[in-house]
Structure 1
Amino acid sequence: MAFHDLLEQVGSLGRFQILQVAFLMMCNFLAFIHVLLENFTAAVPEHRCWVRILDNDTLSDNGTGLLSQEDLLRISIPLDSNLRPEKCRRFVHPQWQLLHLNSTFWNLSEAETEPCVDGWVYDRSSFVSTIVTKWDLVCDSQSLISVAKFLFMAGMLTGSILYGRLSDKCLAESARWLIITNKPQEALKELWRAARINGVKNYRDTLTVEVLRSTMKEELEAAQMKCALSDLFYNLNLCKRICLLCFTRCAICVSFFGLFLNLQDLGSNVFLLQILFGVLNLPANYVAFLAMNHLGRRISQVLFTSLAGISILVNIFVPQEMLTLRLILSTLGGCLLYASITCCLTHSNELLPTVIRATASGIIGFTGSIGSALAPLLMMLTIYSASWPWFIYGGFSLLASLAVLLLPETRNQLLPDSIQDIENETQASRKAKQKDTFIKVTQF
């Protein structure tokens, strides 16, 4: 018998489990919406240099009041390579000759330009006020937007470390963990609580300490061997597994938050993208649930993570004018990353032995938070090339999918309770490979 037999007695999927999941979903919802706000509070509106003849409240005496706004803009702001007004430079003197028809053949490179020494004018039709418009985080200061996002994510990382233990006051302790750590009486109380909420009758008669001890006999014997933090590193197989899980979580978080914190850089409507990501979140996770049950944890994660990386990389080569295709690829990449995160969390929890699951999960989660914090900093590379950050985001997803291939499958497998279980799994896998190789060699 094993722990899942005890769960059947208290109701493996009842009101207790539903309430726990609902509470966790509410907490995650309240936290995640603040991350998404960065797409709006740090949005960069259209902008140009402030020029006196165009933006001064009083008209000058040189007859500019007879000219249209387009004409004044034409003589004040040079055009970039896409024939759009420059965002960071202006003419030192108005170029009146540009108003004449024959000015098409005039060499603009001869005109002297300068930075926006008097500030900028912002298009406030979509964003009335952001940190960009408040502190002029454009042009030479644009990299500070990435720093602001990094500080926000670093704050989340710090909060997860400081306040992680507060969850013990809100959520029930894992009965399995209490059993493994040789606390059967406390585990029995948690199981009784779950049975009571699930409406199970006579649970005190059928679920006793004796039943618990007989059911978890092997696990209780293994619990006598205390596990220290050093066991995570001294055991080679466990250390390898945790290192792979840390890299996978970090790489996926880099891609995930790299995409979700920079929706405006995808070249489409940030409001529409945000709505699509929100609406498709639940279907994406349901698809991940179906895939994990039919294809397995490892294959599902490899599939979703690699396809997410491919969609990000393909979007780099799509022209900015093809808004619909960019929208489809961006939405597809977001949905695949949602599914990938779900598979990653499920797979990692099932790979860790119960005795050190909390500690190992904390280490893995910490590396993931580091990846989340570093993701916005990669956008600073746009000063060299606008595509470099997206190559890294897509490349990390592909690397994560390769790392998952080195991990074992956990579908329909019992959860490991002790470090010895990891060793037994490894030895059984080696024997199976040797047997398979022997059969292939000797069948001829």
Structure 2
Amino acid sequence: MGFSELLHTIGGMGKFQILQTALMMFPALLISCHNFLQNFTAITPEHHCRPANWTNGSHAPGGVGDGDLLRVFIPLDKDQKPERCLRFSEPHWQILSLNDTSSLSLDTEVCLDGWVYDQSVASSIVSEWDLVCKHKSLKSIAQSIYMMGQLVGATVFGIFSDRCGRKAALRSGILLMMAAGTSAAFSPSFLAYCVLRFLSGMAMTGIIITSLCLTMEWTPTQRRTLVNIYTMYMVTLGQVVLTGLAYLIRPWRWLQGTLSVAYVIILLYSWGLPESACWLITHNKLDKAVKNLQAVATLNGRKEQGRKLTPEVVRLHMQEDTAAIKETPFLLDLFRTPGLRRTTCCIALGWFSAGFSFFGLGLDVQKFGFNIYWTQLLFTVVDFPMKLVTGLSMGYFGRRITAISLQLVAGCVILVTSFLPRDLNTFKMILCLFGKGSLAGCFSCLYLYTMELFPTEVRQTGMSAGIFSTRLGSLLSPLVYILGNHSPVLQPVMFGLVPILAAAAGSFLIETNNQPLLNTIQETEKRSQRPFFKKKKDVKLKYLGMK
């Protein structure tokens, strides 16, 4: 393909590509910090009702009332711990002289005067806005609202990037993230917090899809898999960084603000990055594309080869590619032709399943009952070997087989947990770790696979369709926990079945391993015409104007 030859001419994977890849890894690191931030900013501490006209509990160690005294005001649950959502209608001092209170029938009521929280646990949005008992579902809704922002951002920034350029979309996303993320740290109310988190979700999606696309469009075909592996490792490393920061910075407002201000670093160096020459060429901005290509050639030690590049030379290389390109790509372009329709639907289901099950397993690690910092670290560490296996598999067996295998493994492992008894909680966690690791590897594959499946003129729009789907899945996953309060077996069944369905759909995709990036929809149609998908020869593709 024309642009692949141009990249080879100016040095292939040279100094510029290495520097750009290193710089674009920082956004990948921060995306995990924000996606899993609520695991720490929304910790649910131990709590019980605040007894009426009683202050001892607030002065007791940890902010929770001493056992014997607290029994006078708060009933015990089946585990002999203070009830979280009930209190006695009036104090019952006779309880202190009784060894067995199971036969007593005492009147209770809901928490009319608020709650007392364990002060040894970091401050969180749960304790600040009382997101417990009948309001506990608001914690999951807050995460869903953030995911909804990512869903909207995938569409908005994808179209914006394809029409206005990768750099413009990247800088816009960074500025929005700095404004909304920092403001969320000063939220005066839960409603304001949710609105600002929605905007943060939009910005986060814009940053990650444009930074990754900008990197891949400057990367030679043979190095795309390796660059993708490095980038996905940074996503995993981001979860480790988040755990460390959350351990050191316990107040949720300080943690939220610190992670948002960090984007100023990306904003500073993003101004010096060149726009994607691939995007400039396909939008007939040849003069600017030539300048960027020459600058990259100089940095790669190929200054003489860069001098030979002119708009006429570039046009000659890309003549066939640019002839069929529409100037203003739109979301409906992904459904105009048979090959693109099949690709869009199948890859969207794969993204949906990955987001739905991955975040379903990773956003509620507190449920296992272990130390949240160690649990989060375990759920992160398992991603490292799985992403290494994914990278090797993509290189040897191809993208399609890798994606299908990982989805099948994740789905089956998660389904097994629905048949295990409650006393095997540790074994359940191990299976969930393996399932999450498989889905993390699937994400690594999908990011690269999607960019290779869609042509340049709609690549960012196609990537946005995938991100939109995964954010839709991640938006719905917290809602499953709300339904799971009524039927616990529903959670693993739903989180397990969806990846299996996605694996079946993935079998209809084409393989892209060691293939150059596509530039036009016409090329996509030609490559996607496998024997069992071929139409009659006289079928006319009106959208492309070809037979």
Same-fold call, TM cutoff 0.5: yes
* SS of residue in 2 equivalent to 1:121: strand
Tell me: CA distance 1:82–1:227, structure 2 relative to 1, closer, same or farther (3 Å). same
Q: Is 1:92 the equivalent of 2:103?
A: no
Matches within 5 A, 1:240-259: 240-259=342-361
Aligned to 2:114: 119
- Number of the residue aligned with 2:10: 10
Residue of structure 1 aligned with 2:508, choices 406, 419, 437? 406
| Alpha-carbon separation, structure 1, partners of 2:48 and 2:461 | 51
Q: Superposition pairs for residues 61-80 of structure 1, below 5 Å?
A: 69-80=66-77
Question: How many residues of Structure 1 are paired with residues of Structure 2 in the alignment?
Answer: 422
**Cα 1:35/1:424, change in 2 over 3 Å:** closer
**2:43 aligned partner:** 43
Equivalent residue in structure 2 for 1:272, among 374, 377, 388: 374
Contact (CA 8 Å) 1:53, 1:72: kept in 2 or not?
no
* Structure 2: gaps of 5 or more residues: 60-64, 162-167, 172-269, 537-547
Instruction: State the 1:294 CA deviation.
Output: 1.1
Q: Deviations over 1:22-65 (max 9, x none)?
A: 22221232343123221111111122223369853799xxxxxx
Q: 1:298 to 1:71 in 2, by over 3 A?
A: same
Partner-residue secondary structure (3-state), 1:114: strand
Can you list the C-alpha shifts for 1:141-190, whole angstroms capped at 9, x where unaligned? Answer: 11111122223333444556368643277453332333333443333222
- The whole-number CA distance in structure 2 between the counterparts of 1:357 and 1:218 is 18
Q: Aligned residue for 1:103?
A: 100
Go from structure 1 to structure 2 and tell me whether the alpha carbon gap of 1:78 and 1:141 turns closer, same or farther (over 3 Å shift): same
Residues 87-131 of structure 1, C-alpha deviations (whole Å, 9 max, x = no match): 212333455565567737x534x3322222232222232x23111
- Deviates most, 272-281 or 47-56: 47-56
2:125 alignment counterpart: 131
Contact 2:351 2:470 (8 Å CA) reproduced: yes
Q: 1:396 aligns with which of 464, 482, 498?
A: 498
Match of 2:136 among 138, 142, 149: 142
Residue identity matched to 1:398? I
**CA 1:407–1:368 in structure 2 vs 1: closer, same or farther (change >3 Å)?**
same
175-184 or 251-260, which deviates more? 175-184
| Offset at residue 265 of structure 1 (A) | 2.3
TM-score by length of 1: 0.82
TM-score between both structures, scaled by the size of structure 2: 0.68
Larger Rg belongs to = 1
The residue aligned with 1:374 is 476
Higher mean alpha-carbon deviation, 160-169 vs 138-147, is at 160-169
Which of 123, 144, 153 is the matching residue for 2:147? 153
Structure 1 CA distance for aligned equivalents of residues 526 and 306 of structure 2 = 35
> How far is the alpha carbon of 1:85 from its aligned partner?
3.4
Paired residue type of 2:509: L
| Structure 1: gaps (5+ residues) | 60-67, 435-444
- Cα distance change, pair 111–150 in 1 and its aligned pair in 2 (3 A): same
1:338/1:57 CA distance change after superposition, 3 Å = closer
- Give the structure 2 partner of residue 358 of structure 1: 460
Per the TM alignment, residue 293 of structure 1 is displaced from its structure 2 partner at its CA by: 0.6
C-alpha deviation, 1:138, in angstroms: 0.9
Q: Separation in 2 of the partners of 1:432 and 1:292?
A: 27
Closer/same/farther in 2, CA of residues 353 and 128 from structure 1, 3 Å limit: closer
**Equivalent residue number for residue 441 of structure 1:** none
Alpha-carbon separation, structure 2, partners of 1:280 and 1:14: 32
Identity over the aligned pairs, expressed in percent? Answer: 39
* SS of residue paired to 1:29: helix
Q: CA deviation at 1:300?
A: 0.9
CA contact 2:362–2:379 (8 Å) conserved in 1: no
The alignment partner of 2:76 has SS state of coil
Tell me the residue number matched to 2:206.
none
**In 1, Cα distance between equivalents of 2:54 and 2:496:** 43
Cα contact 1:266–1:330 (8 A) shared by 2: no
Instruction: Indicate if the aligned counterparts of 2:294 and 2:307 stay in contact, CA closer than 8 A.
Output: no
How far apart, CA to CA, are the structure 2 residues paired with 1:382 and 1:432? Answer: 45
> Structure 1 residues 266, 296: closer, same or farther in 2, change over 3 A?
farther
Q: Distance in 2 between matches of 1:20 and 1:274?
A: 30
Q: Which SS does the other structure have where 2:529 is aligned?
A: helix
Other-structure match for 2:399? 297
Check the 8 A contact 1:54/1:73 in 2, yes or no. no
**Aligned-partner SS, 1:48:** strand
CA RMSD of aligned residues (A): 3.3
C-alpha displacement of 1:214: 4.1
More displaced stretch, 21-30 vs 209-218? 209-218
Structure 2 match to 1:437 = none
What is the alpha-carbon distance in structure 1 between the residues aligned to residue 370 and residue 12 of structure 2?
Answer: 45
Counterpart selection for 2:320 from 218, 243, 250: 218
